[in-house]
Amino acid sequence: MPSPDDKESKVRKRAYELWESEGKPHGRDIVHWLRAETELSKRLHAPCSTPAVKGGTPVKTTGRASGEVVRTKKSARKSKSGVRRNG
């Protein structure tokens, strides 16, 4: 999680970019600041697009606070007869 100073710096930079992109209008500083905060907050809490990898097998998390991991690929299991089968 970014430090408060780092977060404020990013918001300031993004608000400035928004202000410039709109032609540097007077009196819209609050609007740009709030929009920058919203954009950065969404980006910070957006789901990761790259799947996690554990032991060479792609995995996905459940999104729970426990960090529980669920394998996306079924591993081979031994049946009662000792023969490996998928599924």
**C-alpha count within 13 angstroms, C-beta hemisphere, residue 30:** 1
The residues facing 36 across adjacent strands are none
pLDDT surpasses 70 at 86: no
30-56 confidence digits (pLDDT tens): 999 999 999 999 988 877 665 555 565
Which uninterrupted H or E stretch holds 43?
A: helix 29-45
Residue boundaries of the structural domains of the chain: 1-73
pTM metric for this prediction: 0.50
